[in-house]
Amino acid sequence: MNFTGILLFAGLTVWDTNRLKQLSTQLEGKQGMGGLVVIGALALYLDFINLFLLLLRTSRR
């Protein structure tokens, strides 16, 4: 179960990173970009936190 979660959140991290890169190229210099960047950064933060917690749970066993 933990390894599936690790793969899932690793994939979500890659997907969110690519989404942020696309957003930054599309909205470069436009107003309102800051809010979308903050939301994207929070999504990445949550991905990293969940990935870290799953790695900790896996290393405990």
Q: Are 48 and 10 in contact (CB under 8 A)?
A: no
Task: Count structural domains, the chain.
Answer: 1
pLDDT category, 53, cuts 50, 70, 90?
Answer: very high
User: What residues make up the domain containing 38?
Assistant: 2-60
45 pLDDT above the threshold of 90: yes
The overall average pLDDT reported for the chain is: 87
Distance CA(31)–CA(53), nearest Å, equals: 36
The pLDDT score that the predictor gives to residue 38 is 86
